[in-house]
Amino acid sequence: MFDGFTPAEFNHDGVVIPYVSAGQGAPVLLLHGFPQTHAMWAKIAPVLAKSYQVICPDLRGYGAASKPKNVTDYSFRAMGSDQLALMSSLGFDRFHLIGHDRGARTAHRMALDAPERVQSLTVMDIIPTHLLLSELTQQVAKAYYHWFFMAQPEPLPETLISSDPFAFYESCLFGWGGADGSGFATDQMAAYRTAWQDPEVVRGMCNDYRAALEIDFDLDEQDLGRILDMPACVLWGADGVMGRSYDVARTWSNRLSNMTAKALPGGHFFPDQYPVETAQALQSFLDSCQD
């Protein structure tokens, strides 16, 4: 799927993070979202690797990464610590950071916790976590009900999801912006479905959402008023829930001082639906950030 990329693993204090990498030049870290794996970058990473050294890991709890037991192990700070340590192990003190969905929330936390490490920040199809939860609208609550369903105590959501994981996760993939199966590459969908059949992946993803409500909201509240100064890019799907429900750029305007913002075609999963357009937007922004 990632032709020319080298697979490897990194062990961060007992949490194993698998990743693939390729290319030369400034380092670029790509973080996937829910309910996916690093496979979501299969059509985008090779384009960027022509100019950059690209690293695509799984987040803890997802794909082939380790699945720790405790909810506290799934805060965006904990997820980000894996990725900061991974990049240090590869010899990168600074790097470009790109995330989609949960990967974007992890990336935002990484930039808050270690701004000196992040040469540029790109967040894709999210508004700030604290804002989404503190000013939740009926429209968003209905569309993003999974935030609150998956955050219920174990084992209720795990039991219900595992009865038909394809039905549940595909309802997420195809429900946020009018996508359907035709917009997703066969090999990428196969990778997602393989992960969904693992009960530990189901549990890990539920713990991710539990941590968002139990831990991340409070961490973000402590950082209200923080403004990040590195070059930042905010992308969203024009037909997605975020794009229809918010002025996405405005939600980030008091958090990012040096921001480029752009809507792309498609819904929440526009990187899968429109990888060419997504790669072009990312390439253009990264090129503009070179020292």
- Phi first, then psi, for residue 179 (nearest 5°) are -75, 165
**Active-site residue flag, 93:** no
Beta-carbon count within 10 A of 40 CB: 26
Residue 250: both structure tokens together: 């405005």
**DSSP category for residue 141:** H
Contact (CB, 8 A) for 150 and 212: no
d(CA 150, CA 137): 19
Contacts made by residues 90-94, CB under 8 angstroms, sequence distance 24+: 90/21, 90/27, 90/55, 92/27, 93/117, 94/27, 94/118, 94/119
CB 55 within 8 A of CB 89: no
- Among 58, 73, 101, 239, the active-site one is 101
Residue 29's contacts (CB-CB under 8 Å, 6 or more residues apart) are 55, 57, 83, 86, 87, 95, 96, 97, 98
The edge-to-edge listing of strands for the beta sheet with 118-124 is 6-12, 15-22, 53-57, 27-31, 95-100, 118-124, 232-237, 259-264
Residues 158 and 273: their CA atoms lie apart, in Å, by 28
Concerning whether 268 is annotated as a catalytic residue, the answer is yes
Q: Which two tokens stand for residue 256?
A: 């990012």
Q: What amino acid positions are annotated as catalytic residues? A: 101, 268
